[in-house]
Homo-oligomer: A and B are copies of this chain.
């Protein structure tokens, strides 16, 4: 019997974010596992997903994969074709890379069926140019806050590059860092330091619910954006570096940026 572990991306937002290839893999699997804790899929229903693939799905929690090292999944993969469904593009979460290495070490072949990732979705929605993004960073909750995100934004800005900031989330606790709160936390660091990285007149772009039919994409000065209502999670934030004039046009037309942004373009 084929010993195989196939990582399948669920893509974004709901149970129809998966690719046709991903559905076929689940339909032909001996066992199907899923996790829904590394990224939020607000419109996802396990029941509707099970109806699509015509089989029962075993939902794994963080402790199954981290403390127990994915033993349930790896044992199943040693017996037959096992599909592991993961929000977004499955191997972008570093925790699953560890699982993939462990499977290969046990002699289980692995494959990836990719899904739409929050990373490329946010960049696409913003209208900014992909090749102008520097290092990505996650902004943590206040209790874990550090100056790292600020430093990454500063380093990228000095190189003229944009920064994609993912905002921390704890799905099991229904806790999501908001764009408003992230801007406040970052502005507090600005005030402690003698730099001009995130001032009230710095431009930023907030993106909420990427992958849904009703995303909110709003570019504005930090002073306005920190009060803007972005609605439900998930939310993310971009700090642009130098803007090409086509990127300025995109922010004005697609992200409702103020017309005064044109003065900042190069």
Contact = CB atoms under 8 A, between A and B. Distances in A.
| Copies per assembly | 2
Contacts of A116: 9, 11, 19, 89, 114-117
Contacts of A134: 134-135
Interface string A68-106: 000000000000000000001111101001101100110
Nearest to A164: B131
Contacts of A201: none
A24 interface: yes
Nearest to A159: B155
14 contacts: A11-B19, A18-B19, A18-B20, A19-B20, A19-B115, A89-B120, A92-B123, A92-B124, A97-B127, A101-B254, A114-B120, A114-B210, A119-B130, A134-B134
Given A16-B21, A17-B19, A112-B121, 15 more contacts: A9-B116, A12-B114, A17-B21, A18-B20, A89-B124, A92-B124, A97-B129, A101-B127, A101-B253, A114-B120, A114-B210, A116-B117, A117-B119, A119-B130, A155-B159
